[in-house]
Structures are given as structure tokens and as C-alpha cells.
Copies of this chain bind each other. A is one copy, B any other.
Amino acid sequence: MSEDDSGFPTDYEIAQDADLEHITDVVEPFGLTEDDLELYGDYKAKLSMDAVERLKDQRSEDSNLVLVTGMTPTPMGEGKTVTTVGLGQAFNHTGRQAMIAIREPSLGPVFGIKGGAAGGGYSQVLPMEDINLHFTGDIHALTAAHNLISAMLDAHISKGNELNIDPNNISWKRAIDMNDRALRNMVIGLGGESGGQTREASFLLTAASELMAVLALADSLEDLKERVGRIIVAYDEEGEPVTVDDIEATGAATILLRDALKPNVVQTLEGTPALVHAGPFANIAHGTNSLIADQAAFGMADWVLTEAGFGSDLGAEKFLNVVSRFGDVEPSAIVLVSSVRALKYHGKDMWPADMDELEEPDVEAVEAGLENLDKHAANLQQFGVPVVVSINRFPQDTDEEIEAVVDHCESQGIPAGVSNVFSEGGEGGVELVEKITGAVEESEADFEFLYDTEESIKSKVETVATEIYGADGVNYVDGAEDDIERMEELGLDDMPIVMSKTFHSFSDDPSKKGVPKDWTLDVREVYPSAGAGFLVVLTGDVMDLPGLPGRPAAADMDIDADGTISGLF
């Protein structure tokens, strides 16, 4: 997020002005020493696996996870990362020990549309350039491991194909961390025998690789290797799955991920330590930072702030039904990020979004949009976790608009507070911290999943569709019913589900704002992410490899002789 009108400094200017502490000094008050770190320069480090194991054991019974999610956002996003980072600072500001655990950004998209992914304003994680570029190399390692599996798969096919792999039934794509639309659909293996087997193929963005989901869910190197080995890469001529284990790529691919599994630690502008680790998609995967980072964070602080992607119907639903199930990470409270502009977007039933129009004061539109916020809050309360609404304040918001939101939430019995962490840093989140801690104290935690994994696939899909999305029911179109039958035959039906749906609406139609009524969800395809341990349920086309615009952000980027970068943010 960047704010360069009205004299407020840009994210980059704020970041440049920051005095960073050596990362060893940042983590020392949280019980870590230099021996626990593998340094990448002075301001980035990985936690050693020994440290991770020790931290897991150190988790206090009083530790609290705060999950930050959001209402259905405008295309600009409503500030979940800013809120997460700001709240981490705010907790520390109030004398509580808090850690932040968020996703690491992909490199490729940075070159398409200007803007990084490390918070914003006075609630940023640093060093922002490094975090948005190569960082500690995790995503490069994932790309390499992914493409090693691809190369071994095609080499197997072209050198005898002992496993009888069907070249027309290969589910494993190749990976690249770059917005390159020309690689979405291609024919590879041309040029005669030296080029191998000719076949159709695709690249996906590395963040969309199942390996990214696997890395984010593994709780040890051993678990990582087991998950890698289970990944289904293709099917043989009889339709039986062929796994990474079958093509003997498990050990080598895991070797390439050995360091990537270690959580990265950096700091916020106010010196709060942040674990920035793994970044799976929130549509075809679960959309949260690594479980291992969460688990390590619990050993460092009593409060852990983490974030789930997109609106709560996507990221938080997956966190609560999938991630919480896999790891011991049930939230004590959920922060639901809202904004006046997003409420107006729903109140005006606007599509596509006109961001300028949303800057105009309009209390009635805000009030008309509250039903979207209410639905998100009610959805989350179903999991038995207290919900606190955060109103991420933007400069153009009027007091009247803000009050309308606060009053409404309080009338519904939902604690709500204004977040000024973008403009004020941690101090701007103190009110919210008090609301969160109050809600946790008052709550009788009684967390429960929305479905059992033993239920049928259709039952699980229908639960999410009706209880979260508000659909009347589900239609299975294209080959979805065949897919479900096949998953049942293969014994892959007892996993949690990951629904891929547009984030622009509760429904599967991005133009529908507020709380769409009288609609049914179309399910088009179901496939297994057997390594990650979930079934992916597609409701529409998934874009897993972005493209560059006609004149990408990269065209305005530069670096001078002394290494100073411009145009990146």
C-alpha cells in the first residue's frame, strides 16, 4: 500500500528513514541468541531447525493466536497485512510480547503492477526491498525443486516410461516466479528425439505450486519429505496416480527445500520481530504463512498475529477448516478488517470498482454495505471464536462514516475499533489491542470445525457453500461429479477441502456485492493436492500464471551506481 498524495511520506520513504537493529538484537528479548539464527546479512535470518524444535516445546499454555482476515475487499485490498503488522507493534507497545507471522511475497508480480507486499505506512516489515525481491531464496528453491520434479517426470517418460505414464494425463506443470503469459499454454518436447516426448504443457507461478502449500503445512523436515513424496504428478495408462515417490524425486526435491523450510525472521519499523515465511495461493491452496513459523512464534511470545488471504470466505475459512486441523493453531480471536471504502463498494453495489468514487463521503452507502461485514462476522462466529472488527482508517474517511460502523458493530454485540496503524504505527492500534484482549478474556473458547473430513466430498462442499458463501445449494457441472467419484475410488475423499472461488464476492459471480441471495454455486472440477493433504474444488477458471501489462511497473524501475533502487514501490 502506498500513499503519496497529501504530503504523507511513501512507504519507501518511511522504510528508507528507518534505523534497523541487527536481527540478533531484535530476537534477543524473545529468547533467541545468535546461535539460533542463520544470518543473511545483518537484517534477515533463518531460524535454525534446532531453534524451531526448541521453540515448539516452549509454547506456553497461555499463548494466543490472533487471526487477521477481512470483509470482501475492493481490488485495492483493505489492509490486512498493514493491520497484522501494526497490531504486532501495538501489542508490544502495550507491554505484551507479540510476534508477527505473515506470508512472503512472490518476486514476479512485483514487476507487473507497482507495489510490494510487506505492509505499509508506519506498519511495515523491513528490509522491504529484500523481502520483495530474492529475500532468503525460498521461492527460488521452490522453483528449482518444482522444476526438478518436472524434468525427472519428462525424462522418465522419454527414456522408456516404465511407469506407463499417460502423457495426456500429467497434472504437474512447470513453475516460474515471473508474470509470463506466453508460458500459460505451450507444446514442449519438440525437435525430434533429443527433445523428448512432445506434449502440451504449462507453467504456473511458483506460489501456486503444490510444493508451496506443502512447505507451508510441513511441521518438520521429515514431514516435508513425506508430503513431497505423496504429491500426485500424473496418472498412468490405467488411471492410477503416479507420485513424486514413484519417479524417485522425493529425496532430491527435499534436499532443495532444506533451507526453505526454516522460517525467516525480520523486523517491523518498530523492531517487533516478524516471521515472514511461505506464501501459498488462497484459491487453489490455503493462503497462509507456514505452520512451522506459527509454531515457532508460539515459543517466542504469548501473542502471535497472523493473516489469511483475501476475504474471510476464502483465507480464514481455509485457515479454520484446514490449517487449524493440521497444526495446533486454533485462534483465540479473529480480527475482521473492514474499511469505509469497502463498505461503500458493497453499499453502492458497484462493479467494477471506481476507486475515486469510493473516496467521496457517503454515510448511507457505508450503512448499506454493512450486511457484507455482518455476514463475514457471523460466518466466523460459527467457529466458536470471538470476532473483533477493525476499521482501517484512510485519510479521506469522515468521522461520521467511521462512527456509523462502530455504532453498528456495537449494536450487534461485536467489539469494533479504529485502526490507525498505517499513519501512526503501533500506537494507532492500541485501542484495538484492548478490544482483542478483552474479547479473548471474556470468551469461552469452544473452537469447532464446520465439517468432519469423514463426510462425503459433496457434504463438505455444500457446508462451505451454504454456511459460508450463503448459496442455496451446489450444482456440479463439467466433469465435477466424475472427479468426485474418482477421488472416492482412490480413497482421497477423506481430506479437508480448499475451495477456489472469486474473492470479489461471497458468490461465484464477482459482480455481486453485499450478501448475494438466491444463487447456487457451480462446481467445475475437483482434484487432489495429496501432498498438501486437501482436495481442491474449482468453481471457475483459475489464473495460476499472471501476465504483464502493456507497460509493466518494471519499465520504470532503476538502480543507480551505488545500488539505490527506484520505482520498485
Is A144 within 8 A of B107, CB to CB? Answer: yes
A569 to chain B, nearest CB (A): 12
State A279–B190 Cα separation when bound (angstroms).
Answer: 28
Closest to A252 in B: B554
| Cα(A185)–Cα(B562), bound, Å | 40
Answer whether residue A140 sits at the interface, using C-beta atoms and an 8 A cutoff. Answer: yes
Q: Considering the complex, which residues of chain A in the window 500-515 have a beta carbon less than 8 Å from any beta carbon of chain B? A: none
With A147-B178, A177-B144 given, is the CB distance from A554 to B190 under 8 Å?
no
User: Which of A192-200, A230-238, A308-316, A516-524 sits within the interface?
Assistant: A192-200
Tell which of B140, B160, B567 touches A140, judged by Cβ atoms closer than 8 Å.
B140
- Which A240-290 residues sit within 8 Å CB-CB of chain B? 248-249, 251-252, 254-256, 258-259
Residues of chain B within 8 A (CB-CB) of A547 are: 155, 194, 196
Q: How far is the CA of A255 from the CA of B564 in the complex (A)?
A: 9
- Residues on A facing B (Cβ under 8 Å): 38-42, 49, 107-108, 111, 133-134, 137, 140-141, 143-144, 147-148, 150-152, 154-155, 158-160, 174, 176-191, 194-197, 200-201, 220-222, 225, 248-249, 251-252, 254-256, 258-259, 547-552, 554-559, 561-563, 565-568
Q: Are A548 and B152 in contact (CB under 8 A)?
A: yes
Q: How far is the CA of A221 from the CA of B552 in the complex (A)?
A: 23
Bound form: Cα–Cα A558–B568 in Å? 39
Nearest to A144 among chain B residues (CB) is B107
26 A-B pairs in the complex with CB atoms less than 8 angstroms apart: A39-B42, A107-B144, A108-B151, A111-B152, A133-B255, A134-B141, A150-B180, A151-B548, A152-B555, A154-B180, A154-B182, A155-B547, A155-B549, A158-B182, A181-B195, A182-B189, A183-B188, A184-B190, A185-B189, A249-B554, A249-B555, A252-B554, A252-B555, A252-B557, A255-B559, A255-B568
Residue with the greatest number of chain B CB neighbours at <10 A, chosen from A108, A148, A249, A259: A148
A-B pairs with lowest CB-CB distance, top 4 = A185-B191, A140-B140, A251-B558, A252-B554
Shortest CB–CB separation between residue A235 and chain B, in angstroms?
A: 18
B residues within 8 A CB of A158?
A: 181-182
Known A38-B41, A557-B252; contact A190-B180, beta-carbon cutoff 8 A? no
User: Known contacts A248-B551, A251-B558, A258-B565; can you find 16 more A-B pairs with CB under 8 A?
Assistant: A133-B255, A133-B256, A134-B259, A152-B554, A155-B548, A158-B181, A160-B550, A182-B188, A182-B201, A184-B194, A186-B201, A220-B561, A248-B554, A251-B556, A254-B559, A258-B559
Assess the B195–A190 pair: CB atoms within 8 A.
no
Residues of B within 8 A of A150 (CB): 178, 180
Structural contact, A557 and B186, CB atoms closer than 8 A: no
For A152, A154, A549, which residue has the most chain B Cβ atoms within 10 angstroms?
A152
Whole-angstrom distance from the CB of A100 to the nearest CB of chain B? 24
Docked-complex contact B184 and A550, CB < 8 angstroms: no
A151-B548, A554-B148 known; A187 and B184 CB under 8 Å? no
Q: Which residues on the B side are within 8 Å of A549 (C-beta)? A: 155, 159
Partner of A39, one of B39, B179, B252, B551: B39
Q: Given A41-B39, A151-B548, A258-B559, does the pair A194, B221 have CB atoms closer than 8 Å?
A: no
